[in-house]
Amino acid sequence: MVTTIDVKMKESKMWVEVETNIIYNEQGHPTDKIVRFSPTAENWDGLYEEVLKYYKDFPKEGIVFVDIIPFLQNKAVYKQLIDKVAEACTTPNIVAPEARGFLFAAPLLTEARHIESIIPVRKSGKLPFAEGDLHEVLIEKEYGFDKLYYRLSDIAAGKPAGDKFEVTILDDVLATGGTAEGLAESLEAQKIVVNGKEYGVKVKEFVFIVEIVDLKGKERLEKIAPVRSITEI
C-alpha cells in the first residue's frame, strides 16, 4: 500500500518524490509506505491549482467549495505562497476576514518587513470590545447573508499614511466578491481618531489566494480598488 498526499501528485511532473518512510507492524513486517512529495521549482503557477481540492454541494446544494487547506500540508508550497502574498500586499495594514484569511495574513508579520499590523474581521461573539469600538458588516455570500465584525482600535494600532490608514483586504478565495465589497465599503466609511487626530481609511487593494474567474467577483471589486490573485481557476 502507498499513501501519498494526493494520487495526482505522484503522476504529475510538477512533483518530485523527496522522502519515503516504511511502516512496520509489531512483527517487523512492512505494512505501509508513506511517500512525501515536493514541488519542482519551475512549475509554481500550475502547481497551486493541482494542490486545491473541490467539494460539490458544500455547504449547500449547488455550491462547489474550494478547499485551500492542502496548501497548509506542504511546507514548500506554503512558504512559496506566503512569499507571493507578501509581494502582492503593498500596504502596512492587512485586513483579514475569519477564518482562513488569518492563515495567510499572520505569517506576513515576520516574513514581510513592510507589514506592520493585522486587522482581524470576525464572526459574532469573537471580539471583546469597548463601547463604540465594534462595527458590524452585513455581507452577501454565495449562499446567503452573514455578519462580520471588526474593531476601530485594531485599525488605529496600524500605520497611517498621511491622513489615512491604507489597508489591504486579504482573503483566501474570491468568488462573487460580496464579502470583500461589504467590508471595503464599511471600512472606508470610518473615521479613526489617534491622539486627537482624525484619519480616514482607504482600501488600496484586494489580495486573494484563489480567484474563481467565472463568478466575476474581480469585476465587482475593481470598482473599489485593484484586485490581485495568486492563482486563478
d(CA 50, CA 198): 47
**Residue 34: pLDDT over 80:** no
Amino acid (1-letter code) at residue 11: E
d(CA 113, CA 163): 22
Q: What is the DSSP letter of 190?
A: -
Task: Give the Cα separation of 223 and 209 in Å (integer).
Answer: 20
pLDDT at residue 228 is higher than 90: yes
d(CA 25, CA 204): 57
* Nine cell digits for residue 36: 512525501
State the helix-helix crossing angle for 75-88 and 44-51, rounded to 10 degrees: 110
Give the chain's domains with CATH numbers. 2-39 (no CATH), 47-232 (3.40.50.2020)
pLDDT digits (tens, 9 = 90+) for 169-221: 999 999 999 999 999 999 999 999 999 999 999 999 999 999 999 999 999 99
For residues 94 and 119, give the distance between their C-alpha atoms in angstroms, rounded to a whole number: 6
Sole residue written with cell 494520487 = 7
| Alpha-carbon gap, residue 81 to 210, rounded angstroms | 11
Indicate the DSSP class of residue 122. B
- Residue range 56-103, pLDDT digits in tens: 888 888 888 888 888 888 888 898 899 999 999 999 999 999 888 999
Residue 16 corresponds to which amino acid?
A: V
The SS3 assignment for 162 reads coil
Going across the sheet that includes 30-39, the strands are 2-3, 30-39, 15-24
- Contacts (Cβ under 8 Å, ≥6 apart) of 113: none
Its pTM surpasses 0.85: no
Quick check: 42 pLDDT over 90?
no
Decide if pLDDT at 5 tops 50: no
Q: Who's near 166: CB < 8 A, 6+ residues apart? A: 91, 92, 93, 160, 202, 204
CA atoms within 13 A on the CB side of 160: 16
Instruction: State pLDDT tens for residues 159-169.
Output: 999 999 999 99
The answer to whether the beta carbons of residues 35 and 23 sit under 8 Å apart is no
